[in-house]
Amino acid sequence: EFSSRVKGIGHVLALLGTWRAPKYITRAWCIYELYMTMILDCKLDIILPPGQSQDFLQALVDGDHDLDTLWQVLESIDVCKASASVPKDKEEILRQVEAGPGFAALNQRVRKKLHAWFCEIGESEVRAYHRRASTCPRACESGCKAGIRVMQM
């Protein structure tokens, strides 16, 4: 039933919350929704709240250690350990995952998607930073360092 709803709508908007600790990936429904959106080939838009993209870019420029924490958080995504406000919902999600792709496959696909998305947004933000900073050598240097950090992700 859930998959028919996602397919019927055809578009999911995933609001991560802060980039440093995305609440979205701690909820079983959200992890399952993200996975279903991908396998049903529906449109998926992942977004950060206002100001978070800029904060993420600043972390790239500064070499913020929270970037390492972000990768660790993404690698720890586990639908089995995720929360749900209604226990029966989580039981049903876990039943469907076990009967379908399996826990490891679902978790890995979601991790990979979010990692790729953070790399894409990082690259996009660095490019925008370069355009804004093209007249300032110091800003260009910071932008280049941020670009290198994106490539290392």
Of residues 103 and 6, more confidence is placed in 103
- State whether residue 57 is helix, strand or coil: helix
* Segment 28-64, tens digit of pLDDT: 999 999 999 999 999 999 999 888 988 887 887 787 7
Q: How far apart are CA 108 and CA 131, in angstroms?
A: 35
Q: How far apart are CA 120 and CA 112, in angstroms?
A: 12
pTM: 0.83
* 89 — pLDDT class (breaks 50, 70, 90): very high
Q: Roughly how many angstroms between the first and final C-alpha of the chain, as a whole number?
A: 37
Least confident of 38-47, 117-126, 141-150: 141-150
* CB-neighbour burial class of residue 109 (10 A; exposed 0-12, middle 13-18, buried 19+): middle
